[in-house]
Chains A and B, each alone.
Chain A
Amino acid sequence: MDFDIRRLLDRIRRRRTDTEQNGERSVRTDGGTTTERSGRFSKMRHSDAVQALPFWLPPALLMGLFVYGAISWNLLISLTDWSGLEQPVYTDLSLEMYTQMPNDPSFVAAFRNTVVLLVAFTVVSLLIGLVLAILVDQNIRFENTFRTIYLLPMALSFVVTAIFWSWMYNPSTGTINVVLSGLGLDFLTMNWIGDPRTRLAAIIFALTWQFSGYAMVVYLAGLRAIPDEHYEAAKVDGASSFKMYWRVIVPQLSTATTSAAVVLMVFALKAFDFIFVMFGDTPGRSADILAVMMFRVAFSRTQWAYGAAVATILFLMALAVVGPYLYMQYKRGDL
Chain B
Amino acid sequence: MANRRSATRRQYLLATGAAGAAALAGCVDDEDPEDVEGNGDGDGLEIVHWWTAGGEEEAFNALVDGFEEETDYEANPNPAPGGAGTAIDTEVQTRVLDEDPPGTFQIWPGEALRTYTDADALEPVGDHWEDGAEDAYLESVVEASSPEGEIVAVPINIHRLNNIFYNTEVLDDAGVDIDGIESPEDLLEAFETADDAGYVGLAQQTQEPWGTLQLWEVVFTGQHGVDTFQQFLDGEAADLEEEINESLSLLEEYSEYFNEDAGTVSWDEANAGVITGDAAFHHNGDWAAGEYQGAEDFEYGEEWDYAAFPGTDGVYTLVMDSFVMPANNPSPEATEAFVEYCSTVDAQERFNPPKGSIPPRTDVPTDEFPPFLQDQMEDFEASDEQVTSVSHGSGLEPAQASEVEEAFAVFTDNWDPDETTQDLVGIF
Contacts and interface: CB of A to CB of B under 8 A. Distances in A.
Establish whether A and B are touching in the complex (CB under 8 Å). Answer: yes
Interface of A: 83-87, 105-106, 170-172, 191, 194-196, 280-286, 296, 299-303
B376 interface: no
Contacts of A83: 399
B16 interface: no
Contact of B414 (A84, A85, A196): A196
Interface string B110-122: 0000011011010
Given A85-B119, A85-B121, A170-B264, A284 B405 contact: no
Contact of A300 (B90, B414, B426): B90
A165 to B, nearest CB: 14
B413 A196 contact: yes
A284 B423 CA distance: 13
Interface stretch (B81-89, B304-312, B350-358): B81-89
Contact of B118 (A84, A194, A196, A300): A84
B285 interface: no
A123 B340 CA distance: 62
A306 to B, nearest CB: 10
Interface secondary structure of B, over-half rule: helix
A95 to B, nearest CB: 21
A321 B86 CA distance: 33
Tell which of A195, A280, A282, A284 has the most Cβ of chain B within 10 Å: A282
B324 to A, nearest CB: 13
A85 B405 contact: no
A86 B413 contact: no
24 contacts: A84-B115, A84-B119, A85-B93, A85-B116, A85-B118, A86-B97, A106-B403, A170-B264, A171-B263, A172-B261, A191-B264, A194-B207, A194-B264, A195-B263, A280-B83, A282-B402, A282-B405, A282-B406, A282-B409, A285-B406, A285-B413, A286-B413, A296-B402, A301-B402
A196 B209 CA distance: 13
For the complex of A and B, the 4 pairs showing the least CB-CB separation, nearest first, are A196-B413, A280-B84, A85-B119, A194-B263
B313 to A, nearest CB: 33
Nearest to B399: A301
Contacts of B264: 170-172, 191, 194
Contact of B413 (A87, A171, A284): A284
Contact of B97 (A85, A106, A286): A85
Given A85-B96, A171-B264, A172-B261, A302 B115 contact: yes
Contacts of B413: 196, 284-286
Given A86-B118, A194-B207, A282-B402, 4 more contacts: A84-B119, A85-B118, A284-B410, A302-B399
Given A280-B84, A282-B402, A300 B115 contact: no
Contacts of B93: 85, 299, 302
- The size bracket of the interface on B is 20 to 34
Nearest to B263: A194
A281 B398 CA distance: 14
B341 to A, nearest CB: 27
Contacts of B96: 85
Nearest to A172: B261
Interface string B196-235: 0000000000011100000000000000000000000000
A87 B406 CA distance: 27
Interface string B407-418: 001101110000
B116 A281 contact: no
Contact of A282 (B97, B209, B263): B209
Contacts of A106: 403, 406
Contact of B398 (A172, A196, A283, A301): A301
Interface in B245-302: 261, 263-264
Contacts of A285: 406, 409-410, 413
Contacts of A282: 209, 402, 405-406, 409
A303 B399 CA distance: 8
Contacts of B261: 171-172
B97 to A, nearest CB: 5
A105 B86 contact: no
Contacts of B116: 85
A87 B119 CA distance: 9
Nearest to A170: B264
Nearest to A301: B399
Interface in B99-144: 115-116, 118-119, 121
A105 B426 contact: yes
Nearest to A197: B413
B115 A280 contact: no
A320 to B, nearest CB: 28
A300 B93 CA distance: 9
Contacts of A302: 93, 115, 398-399
A112 to B, nearest CB: 14
Contact of A280 (B86, B89, B90, B426): B86
